[in-house]
Structure 1
């Protein structure tokens, strides 16, 4: 049976993982800067739900099967890399646009608001096989193979809450500074940097091999 100390330790490690720079962070920052705090928070929630899914998958053995299967790992890897490259290319295209002052309180052009931001965050996390490898290695350190449904659910909720708490902070900080990010030069810089970061992460993900 998992102790309270183990639950706290698990939550701390997941939080540190969420705080490490990666595609999740880039997506939340860009969404918050471009479309506002609400959209950044929606993307953060989508990422947290993705983490919840990976913890459940790890405790039930599904993530381990993904990590063990070369075909399944490659399919998820290619889909995830393609999605990151798509997001990065879209951000770079936005950076190259010219125009006047960005109107505030409007969603990113061509998107459908908070629901799209949520989906973007969810897919960025769920289509990342590195998340599967992370939780496959982490979860067994805190629960055994015979973990109860209650322990599985509690671990998943802890991971969700820790992840969403961190990214909500990021979304709110960036959202608070949105008038700064709304300046055309700053907006182009944010789009360019996050676009380049997402493309780099997509290429790295495509080159990832199973340990």
Structure 2
């Protein structure tokens, strides 16, 4: 397999991984629906940077500690699960407070701007050891055969951000629908339940 074919194959696997439902998807959808496509795109960028960082960590051997050490895995797992639970509870509280109308030119008052959305996306990905283990299993298969660590990192970043930018823009384009109080409460409520469920699932997971 040529280097370009390997890079294309790697990009395809990364894209499929990004498309699978999970906390990253939930965060981008909620940010886009409640705060607009700009905030959703910022969250998408944060997630992509997280994926980039994990690929670099795998390529340099740092991420191997996560796979080899039960203690490190448990620490990352517990912190990640706690963060997902925090986001889920925050969403449920927003759903409970819901009501009134949303001015489409005013950011979500709980969002603190695009930077907060970026950080939320970044932490959601970086604190998910399952994302790291997926890349630990994937990246070595493409290293050393003409594809450099830097190239794979860039491809991972580009593929991830491309998918989540599509999600952010599609949801953002429907923001007039999400501006309705009942719909906003439903989005916040469903997202909160999903994030709490994912947090519990992560907390209960064991190291492969």
Q: Which residue in 2 is equivalent to 1:63? A: 63
Matches within 5 A, 1:11-160: 11-144=11-144, 151-160=148-157
Q: 1:39 Cα shift?
A: 0.3
Distance 1:173 1:200 in 2: 25
Partners of 1:15 and 1:163 within 8 A in 2: yes
CA contact (8 A) 2:29 2:171 kept: yes
1:3 positional shift = 1.2
Deviation at 1:99, TM superposition (A): 2.5
The equivalent residue for 1:207 is 204
Q: Note the C-alpha offset of 1:105.
A: 2.4
* Alpha-carbon separation, structure 2, partners of 1:134 and 1:125: 12
The equivalent of 1:166 in structure 2 is 163
Q: Distance in 1 between matches of 2:82 and 2:134?
A: 21
What residue in structure 2 maps to residue 175 of structure 1? 172
* d(CA) in 1 for partners of 2:61, 2:16: 23
Q: Distance in 2 between matches of 1:94 and 1:110?
A: 9
CA RMSD of superposed structures (Å): 1.5
Mapped partners of 1:160, 1:207: distance in 2? 29
- Does the residue aligned with 1:18 lie in a helix, a strand or coil? helix
Give yes or no for contact 2:44–2:121 (8 Å, CA) kept in 1. yes
Q: Please give the TM-score of this superposition, normalised by the length of structure 1.
A: 0.95
Q: How many residues align?
A: 208
Q: How far apart are residue 111 of structure 1 and its match?
A: 3.0
So what's the TM-score if we normalise by structure 2? 0.96
Over 6 Å off, 4+ runs: none
Matched position secondary structure for 2:5 = helix
